[in-house]
Amino acid sequence: KEICSEEGIDESTHAIRLDTSKCVLSGRCIRACEEVAGTSAIIFGNRAKHMRIQPTFGGTLQETSCIKCGQCTLYCPVGAITEKSQVKEALDILANKGKKVTVVQVAPAVRVALSEAFGYKEGTVTTGKMVSALKALGFDLVYDTNYGADLTICEEAGELVNRLKDPKAVFPMFTSCCPAWVNYVEQSAPDFIPNLSSCRSPQGMLSSLIKNYLPKLLGIKQEEVMNFSIMPCTAKKDEIERPELQTKTGLKETDMVLTVRELVE
């Protein structure tokens, strides 16, 4: 188990980091998990002075019904539960990339969320400044995940038409764009798995193009393309570890996901 019992640090998931040594027992993360996410991955454990926040059943977060949505990280007042930061790793790659081509795709919500982080009026679209900042950090190419969303819409529409023509098809058809939602269905409502669309998320769609077709256009190997993603959701960190989102040679199509907070940092 990837958990340090002495320090109370749980890094068992790809998305969430729990450090109980910082916890002040506000209980906000538990309420967020239950009331916002609709799961019960964390609870109060023990009694009196030994009370602590812990994964359900006393194991690791990975062993619970956690869907990696990150809602708990938004409500914790002291940073005891956060996204699993990869800022240092990302900076190391950008600083020592050599001949590798570093690519980053950015979700639509990011360009607005960044404005609030840097003191702009709420709702300000900072696309130009964002792209300039990413280029200054060392990214060679910046792509818009909106294109991946267009591909997903086209594929989902085609899938829906095919289902409507099939008398044995399962309805209703649910979106598969949100990895936290997919995790929830797989873990807590498996009867609805057939209802999920077979389409990738917009991130997955665009990453497939970046990792499989961009190397051919540039005349380089897949290993020479480092594909990053800036997303507003921690569950995207978990999504990229799925084996079905790998190339035929076993490479991850998205090498790393950073949240908006990590980008600001």
pLDDT band at 7 (very low <50, low <70, confident <90, very high): low
| Domain residue limits, the chain | 3-83, 87-148+199-264
Phi, psi of 203 (to 5 degrees): -60, -45
Q: What is the mean pLDDT of residues 54-72?
A: 94
Write down the pTM of the prediction: 0.90
For the domain made up of 3-83, the CATH class stated in words is alpha beta
Strand partners, 106: 144, 230
Report pLDDT digits (tens) over 28-46. Answer: 999 999 999 999 999 998 8
Label the pairing between strands 16-19 and 81-83. Answer: antiparallel
Q: What is the mean pLDDT of residues 164-174?
A: 95
Q: How much of the chain, in percent, has pLDDT values that exceed 70?
A: 97
Label the pairing between strands 16-19 and 9-10. Answer: antiparallel
Distances (CA, A) of 207 to 62, 188, 214, 218, 243: 25, 28, 10, 16, 14
For residue 120, pLDDT over 90 is answered with no
Report pLDDT digits (tens) over 197-225. Answer: 999 999 999 999 999 999 999 999 999 99
Q: How far apart are CA 127 and CA 132, in angstroms?
A: 9
pLDDT score for 121: 86
Q: How far apart are CA 155 and CA 161, in angstroms?
A: 10
- Residue 100 or 119, more confident: 100
Q: Residues with Cβ < 8 Å from 232, sequence gap 6 or more?
A: 107, 109, 110, 113, 259, 260
pLDDT score for 2: 45
Q: What topology does CATH give the domain 87-148+199-264? A: Rossmann fold (3.40.50)
pLDDT score for 117: 83
